[in-house]
């Protein structure tokens, strides 16, 4: 079950088969909320009701329109649910929208349905049984499990109590949704309430939400805070996946929200390009007919959103293994969307090419980097069809021109809920190596290490030949080995080399082990003492200023500072500054205090805590970042290593 007490399901079925009447009879709540719906006697938009059972189970019910004109509203109601209540009238049996709705349920991956055969007061038992059999056959064709079939009458009340019992039994059989991962809540309704402000409603598809949490809304890059959570009038402090929610949001800059927006626990940029596995194309389609769909306009449905776009390219695919959606032809395609979609890889969707052409499938990848050729896409698709998403991630990294990609780029083919776990598994298996935020194949990582050692050895040999100090500046090494990579990845490589014992680091320079012992002269020792005196009077100081105050050249001061770094008397900070070891310890303690008190280290508070200028504060923060004592976040920093006297 999704939660011990809450569940959400949606109706499905042909217009005028009694969906709204059934919900009203079950719950006592009229889900038709619009004046137009009451006047016309027909549901045109989503309606909502809920049922509280004696055992404590609360069922949220979404009433969807049955008329084909309002298909986009129906699609907005069934996205993200795991069980549908299919309503079929006993006096008519399955009708056009019944077939359409059942097909949509199958395309969206809804594996189970409970069938209510309504209006049994209008027919004899034999006809009701015929309708039941027709409905069973229809659902079986789509691979949807029938939890039960219950004949009911909203007029006489026959079968209603049994339907409630069967509902509870069916819901408790469903596998629990994972509560891990960030929240993903497609918005299906937005309104304003006096004294509260903006309220949105929707079904929490993934993750959890809690009061006070900062959330993001896309499309639009909108920030908000959860002020209040409710489910069917009951206030909550925290909500879990599967629950029907009303969320009172404090929206930054009063940005306008509407159906189709998504509430996110973590940032997820919308996309205008999706590579998809398209299914349920007509079996009669030849390859040439499938390819001719390229350029056709489409309407893409995901969550509660409808996005317009065009098929950029499409190619038929064939495979031998069995699949629940094998009915009809299959293709891989690229969908270019005019309206950005907030969707992840492995999500289900529905597309409409015309009023009658409804297909669907699964997203294989968000976006397409320029370097990812059509041939590489085809290779990845074969892995995708096998369900081997980990292998697809490795192939994606190997295909990149630099042989390495940023961890965040894997959101293109791995949903956020499994990305971290999948990457950790690949790294643990030795298939990928992580350097900072970059991922690279194991073989290429070994090449980088060896190249770095070779470059340092070459530099050392040249300097020894010229009777100069054999210390290679880190910046020189980065240009030689990882010129375009992120600094954090290069720093991780350097740290690996240090920890292996192959190299020795002195401030911002490296040398081979055994080449780092450099004798000092009495004159240099005297200069070191003078620099130590100068630094004791300043929190942090430019190397040029130290040279000025000591009346020595910058070259002499740098050489003396390198000796002081080796003996832990001083530190080189961000290449241009120097600080005493006492200053470094003091700064580290300030960082630790901020982190313990606020779990956040902002540059401004760090500056105030040290009583220095922003220039020196930022230089010191860069020093701690380089040594992996702190890590940069979207805002501020996190502490990774406590000071020695506090650990």
Q: What is the pLDDT of residue 641?
A: 87
Question: Nearest Cα to 204, choosing from 376, 426, 7?
Answer: 7
Q: Is residue 1 part of a domain?
A: no
Indicate if the pLDDT at residue 415 is higher than 50.
yes
Query: Do 563 and 485 belong together in one domain?
Result: no
Q: What's the pLDDT score for residue 441?
A: 94
N-terminal to C-terminal alpha carbon distance within the chain: 43
pLDDT band at 74 (very low <50, low <70, confident <90, very high): low
Q: Region 236-245: what's the mean pLDDT? A: 88
Q: Which percentage of the chain shows pLDDT scores above 70?
A: 89
Per-residue pLDDT, 227:
94
Q: What is the pLDDT of residues 159-188, one digit of tens each?
A: 999 998 898 888 888 766 666 678 999 998
Domain boundary, last residue among 480, 514, 548: 514
As for how many domains the chain has, the answer is 5
Q: Are 340 and 271 in contact (CB under 8 A)?
A: yes
Position 7 confidence tier, pLDDT thresholds 50, 70, 90: confident
More confidently predicted of 377 and 514: 377
Give the integer Cα–Cα distance in Å for 282 and 240.
39
Segment 137-156 shows an average pLDDT of: 90
pLDDT of residue 116: 92
Q: Is residue 24 part of a domain?
A: yes
Residue 179 falls inside a structural domain = no
pLDDT beyond 80 at 253:
yes
Return d(Cα 269, Cα 139) in angstroms, integer: 36
Say if residue 446 is in the same domain as residue 583: no
- What's the confidence (pLDDT) of residue 512? 84
Q: Is the model's pLDDT at 517 over the cut of 60? A: no
Q: Is residue 134 part of a domain?
A: yes
CA distance 2 to 207: 11
pLDDT at 520: 63
The confidence band for 397, taking pLDDT boundaries of 50, 70 and 90, is very high
Residue 43's pLDDT is 46
- What confidence score (pLDDT) does residue 318 get? 73
Residue 198 has a pLDDT of: 92
User: Is the same domain home to 21 and 169?
Assistant: yes
- Please tell me whether the peptide bond between 490 and the residue prior to it is cis, using omega within 30 degrees of 0: no
On whether both 78 and 11 belong to a single domain, the answer is yes
- In the predicted model, what is the mean pLDDT of residues 290-318? 90
- Specify which residues 116 forms β-bridges with: 87, 150
**Do 105 and 30 touch, CB atoms closer than 8 A?**
no
Residue of 627, 108, 579, 130 lying closest to 348 (CA atoms): 108
The reply to whether 149 and 13 lie within a common domain is yes
CATH code: domain of residue 259: 2.40.30.10
Helices marked H in 501-637: 522-536, 543-550, 554-566, 581-598, 603-610, 614-626
The model's pLDDT over 443-497, given as tens digits with 9 standing for 90+, comes to: 999 999 999 999 988 988 887 776 677 888 888 999 999 998 888 888 889 888 8
Considering the domain architecture, whether residues 542 and 584 belong to the same structural domain is answered as yes
The pair phi, psi for residue 97, each rounded to 5°, is: -75, -25
Q: pLDDT confidence of 73, banded at 50, 70, 90? A: low
Compute the C-alpha angle 205/206/211, nearest 5°.
100
Q: At what angle do helices 614-626 and 603-610 cross, to 10 degrees?
A: 110
Say how far apart CA 366 and CA 345 lie, in whole Å: 6
Same domain, 304 and 316: yes
Specify whether 347 is located in the same domain as 307.
yes
User: What is the DSSP secondary-structure string of 304-329?
Assistant: TEEEEEEEEEEEEE---S--TT-SSE
pLDDT at 64 over 80: no
The verdict on residue 37 lying in a domain is: yes
Same domain, 544 and 419: no
Query: What single string gives the DSSP state of each residue in 332-398?
Result: EEEEEEEEEE---TT-EEEEESSSS-EEEEEEEEES--TT--HHHHHHHHHHHHTT-HHHHHHHHHH
CB atoms within 10 A of CB 137: 10
pLDDT above 50 for 44: no
Point out the domain boundary residue: 367, 393, 419: 367
Classified as helix, coil or strand, 632 is strand
Query: Does residue 594 lie in a domain region?
Result: yes
Q: Which residues span the domain enclosing 134?
A: 6-173
Average pLDDT, the chain: 85
283 and 208 in a single domain? The answer is no
Can you give the CATH number for the domain in which 533 is found?
1.10.10.10
The whole-angstrom separation of Cα 116 and Cα 90 is 9
Domain check: are 501 and 439 in the same one? yes
User: Which of 121-135, 288-302, 318-332 is least confident?
Assistant: 318-332
pLDDT band with cut points at 50, 70 and 90 for residue 70: very low
pLDDT band (50, 70, 90) for residue 71: low
- Give the separation between CA 43 and CA 65, rounded to whole angstroms: 5
pLDDT reading at 284 higher than 80: no
pLDDT of residue 238: 92
What pLDDT band is residue 523 in, cutting at 50, 70 and 90?
A: confident
Beta bridge partner(s), residue 208: 240
* pLDDT band at residue 51 under the 50/70/90 scheme: confident
Burial 361-392 (b: 16+ CB within 10 A, else e): bbbbbbebeeebeeebbeebbebbbeeebbbb
Distance CA 307, CA 321 (A): 32
Tell whether 485 is covered by a domain.
yes
* Residue at which a domain ends, from 173, 208, 223: 173
Q: Is residue 577 part of a domain?
A: yes
| Same domain flag for 16 and 159 | yes
pLDDT of residue 257: 92
């Amino acid at each position: 079950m999704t939660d011990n007490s809450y569940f959400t399901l949606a109706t499905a079925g042909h217009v005028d088969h009694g969906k709204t009447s059934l919900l009203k009879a079950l719950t006592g709540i009229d889900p038709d909320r619009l004046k137009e719906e009451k006047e016309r006697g027909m549901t045109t938009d989503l309606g909502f009701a809920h049922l509280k059972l004696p055992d404590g189970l609360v069922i949220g019910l979404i009433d969807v329109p049955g008329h084909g004109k309002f298909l986009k509203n129906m699609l907005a109601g069934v996205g993200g649910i795991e069980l549908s209540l299919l309503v079929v009238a006993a006096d008519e049996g399955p009708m056009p929208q019944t077939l359409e709705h059942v097909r949509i349920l199958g395309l969206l991956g809804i594996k189970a349905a409970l069938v209510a055969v309504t209006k049994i007061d209008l027919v004899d038992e034999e006809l009701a049984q015929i309708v039941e059999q027709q409905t069973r056959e229809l659902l079986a064709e789509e691979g949807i499990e029938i939890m039960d079939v219950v004949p009911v009458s909203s007029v006489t009340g026959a079968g209603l109590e049994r339907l409630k019992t069967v509902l509870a039994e069916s819901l408790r059989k469903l596998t629990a949704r994972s509560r891990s991962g960030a929240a993903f809540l497609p918005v299906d309704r937005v309104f304003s309430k006096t004294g509260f402000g903006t309220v949105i409603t929707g079904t929490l598809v993934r993750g959890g939400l809690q009061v006070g949490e900062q959330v993001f809304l896309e499309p639009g890059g909108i920030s908000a805070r959860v002020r209040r959570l409710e489910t069917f009038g009951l206030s909550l402090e925290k909500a879990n996946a599967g629950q029907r929610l009303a969320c009172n949001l404090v929206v930054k800059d009063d940005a306008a929200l509407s159906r189709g927006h998504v509430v996110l626990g973590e940032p997820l940029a919308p996309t205008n390009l999706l590579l998809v596995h398209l299914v349920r194309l007509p079996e009669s389609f030849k390859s040439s007919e499938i390819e001719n769909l390229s350029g056709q306009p489409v309407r893409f449905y995901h969550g509660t959103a409808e996005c317009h776009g065009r098929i950029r390219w499409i190619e038929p695919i064939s495979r031998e293994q069995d699949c629940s959606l094998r009915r009809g032809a299959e293709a891989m395609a690229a969908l270019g969307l005019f309206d950005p979609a907030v969707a992840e890889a492995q999500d289900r969707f529905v597309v409409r090419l015309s009023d009658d052409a409804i297909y669907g499938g699964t997203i294989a990848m968000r976006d397409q980097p320029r370097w990812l050729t059509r041939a590489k896409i085809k290779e990845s698709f074969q892995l995708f069809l096998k369900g081997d998403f980990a292998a697809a991630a490795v192939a994606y990294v190997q295909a990149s021109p630099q042989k390495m990609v940023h961890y965040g780029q894997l959101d293109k083919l791995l949903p956020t809920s499994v990305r971290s776990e999948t990457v950790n598994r690949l790294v643990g298996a030795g298939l990928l190596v992580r350097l900072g935020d970059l991922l690279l194949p194991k073989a290429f990582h070994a090449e980088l290490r060896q190249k770095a050692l070779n470059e340092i050895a070459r530099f050392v040999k040249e300097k020894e030949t010229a009777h100069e100090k054999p210390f290679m500046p880190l910046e020189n090494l980065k240009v030689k080995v990882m010129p375009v990579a992120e600094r954090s990845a290069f720093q991780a490589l350097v740290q690996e080399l240090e920890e292996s014992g192959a190299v020795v680091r002195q401030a911002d320079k490296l040398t081979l082990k055994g080449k780092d012992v450099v004798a000092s002269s009495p004159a240099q020792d005297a200069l070191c003492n003078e620099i130590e005196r100068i630094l004791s009077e300043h929190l942090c100081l430019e190397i040029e200023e130290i040279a000025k105050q000591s009346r020595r050249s910058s070259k002499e001061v740098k050489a003396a500072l390198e000796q002081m770094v080796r003996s832990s008397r001083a530190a080189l900070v961000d290449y241009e500054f120097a600080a005493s070891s006492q200053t470094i310890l003091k700064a580290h303690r300030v960082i630790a205090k901020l982190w313990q008190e606020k779990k956040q280290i902002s540059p401004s508070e760090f500056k105030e805590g040290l009583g220095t200028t922003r220039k020196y504060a930022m230089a010191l923060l860069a020093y701690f970042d380089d040594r992996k004592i702190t890590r940069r976040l979207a805002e501020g920093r996190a502490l990774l290593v406590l000071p020695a006297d506090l650990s």
